[in-house]
Structure 1
Amino acid sequence: MDLSHRTILVTGASGNIGAATVRLLVASGAKVIAAGPSDELLAPLVAETGVRGLAFDLTSEDAVRRALSDLPLDGVVNCAGLGGVVGPLVDADLDVYDSVMAVNTRGAFLVTKYASRTMIAAGRGGAIVNVSSQAALVALQGHMAYGASKAALDSMTRVAALELGPHNIRVNSVNPTVVMTPMSASYWGRPEIQDPFLSQMPLGRYATEEEIAAPIVFLLSDAAAMITGVVLPIDGGYTAR
């Protein structure tokens, strides 16, 4: 899993899972470009790790094109994510739905589109890992927008694997269970939600950021050279029920 001499872009790097992935990639020898919505949000991670920060709006095609068109890459982690609002379908807000889809699905699509162009032109192959969710694999109460966005991301993973495989570019998804980040704590940290959920999970606990980062780095490495088009649950066995 040595990633020396490889340049990896990580979107959502200012978030918990993204930052853990950046740290592990650095430890694996990669040259990392940490992407996020602003330089201010990226500054603590850049100062800690010494990686290059790259701020752009991944919901804007023009912004993604400007950021990535001439950026040589060997790998991409589409980790930027928006949880939206957990609540009943009948009360869902269309603006929230559109925002979740714009970040989780359209953003990953745009980054993959422009990053893969430069990867193809370089002729060295590469790997892309999309950070999806267990919500793409099973129905979770109140997760209409989030689940839809991640299910679409899994479908994009399979299509991209099919189209980019001839260029030796592998594309996979990881589908984590809940990681107790600030984004998730307000809902999943409530006892009436947490206790029934964990009682159905064979391993009986939430995941850590590092437990998500490790499979991501594996899928970027040559240790996973024959793996593409895979949707990999990292969920303590929840979706095996």
Structure 2
Amino acid sequence: MDINFEGKRILVTGAGRGIGRQLCIVLAKSSPNVKVVALSQTQANLDSLKAESPNIETVCADLGNWDETRKAVQSVLPIDLLVNNAAVASLQPVLETTPEAIDSSFNVNVKSVVNVTQVVAQNMKDRKVAGSIVNISSQASQAALKDHLVYCGTKGALDIMSKVMALELGPFNIRCNTVNPTVVLTDMGRLGWSDPEKAGPMLSKIPLGRFAEVDDVLGAIIFLLSDKSAMINGVTIPIDGGFLAC
């Protein structure tokens, strides 16, 4: 399938590491005149990304800061395609969950998505261009995971918010969908799930018997960004090897 982002400007949040970083690199190579804008709160990560892929534009902002984020996103407009990838995870048991964990997680995983989407979607609407927004959710939005009270809550919120975005932005030809991965073997994912005692119970619930590789997630994101998915709007796509099917 030939997917072309020629002439498009694509914003990816949480682009300093993991899925976001690799997505930026792949997108930057996808078409001669595509422009990828990578947003991260860590300048050092952006600097190393720029060194690896010099044609990527970078912008540093703390997504937990509403006004700072808004100004940063406004500074890189226009944007045609958006991936809200940034997220934090604070894992605590129900009876030990702190207000700080709730506030910080919802601030980044939920509130910042609204903030970035407002700026980008308003610009798309004003320019009367078709757009696509992909929000990175998780299998944790639809399945209870031990010690993931707040994380599950933020991703559940993100799923339904994405459907509302699809409903309200669809009339302007702006689509919004989510991808919902299982454990993804980024560098941090490999480190965090290298212990067989920890990984075993999760793997036993995945019919394909493995965790997701980064490329498994990138393929779905790129498809949803492209015009090959022009009639797909308001869906959640599990990338979980069948975890949610069981």
1:3-38: per-residue Cα shift (whole Å, max 9, x none)? 111000000001210011112211222310000003
Q: CA deviation at 1:72?
A: 0.1
Aligned runs of 1:51-66 on 2, under 5 Å? 51-66=56-71
What residue identity is the alignment partner of 2:81?
G
Aligned AA for 1:15?
Answer: R
Q: State yes or no: 1:82 paired with 2:82.
A: no
Whole-angstrom distance in 1 between the partners of 2:27 and 2:166: 22
**Residue identity matched to 1:82:** V
| 1:228 counterpart residue number | 233
Indicate conservation of the 8 Å contact 1:21/1:214, yes or no.
no
Give CA deviations for 1:200-225 in whole Å, capped at 9, x if unaligned: 11111111112111110110001000
1:186 Cα shift?
5.8
Q: CA deviation at 1:187?
A: 4.8
Residue type at the aligned position of 1:203:
L
With 67-76 and 140-149 compared, the bigger mean Cα shift is at: 67-76
From 33, 38, 52, the equivalent of 1:34 is 38
CA pair 228-111 structure 1, distance change in 2 beyond 3 A: same
2:105 is the counterpart of 1:100: yes
Q: CA separation in 2, counterparts of 1:165 and 1:225?
A: 11
Structure 1 position 192, deviation (Å) = 2.0
Q: TM-score, normalised by structure 1?
A: 0.95
RMSD across aligned positions (CA): 1.4
TM-score by length of 2: 0.93
- How far apart are 1:105 and its partner, in Å? 0.8
Counterparts of 1:148-167 in structure 2, within 5 Å, are 148-167=153-172
Aligned to 1:3: 5
Q: Does 1:123 align with 2:128?
A: yes
Rounded Cα–Cα distance in structure 2 between residues aligned with 1:141 and 1:184: 17
Q: 1:113 aligns with which of 118, 138, 145?
A: 118
Determine whether 1:206 maps to 2:211: yes
Question: 1:97: Cα distance to partner?
Answer: 2.0
| Structure 1 counterpart of 2:178, one-letter code | S
Retained in 2: the 8 A contact 1:33–1:52?
A: yes
Cα offset for 1:42? Answer: 0.8
Give the 3-state SS of the residue equivalent to 1:228 in structure 2: coil
Whole-angstrom distance in 2 between the partners of 1:187 and 1:69 = 35
Q: Give the corresponding residue for 1:193.
A: 198
Q: Tell me, yes or no, if the aligned pair for 1:188 and 1:194 is still in contact at 8 Å.
A: yes
Q: What percentage of aligned pairs have identical amino acids?
A: 42
* Secondary structure of 1:102's aligned partner: helix
Match of 2:16 among 11, 14, 17: 14
Count of residues in correspondence between the two structures: 240
Which amino acid is 2:19 matched to? Answer: I
Q: Which runs of 5+ in 2 are unaligned?
A: none
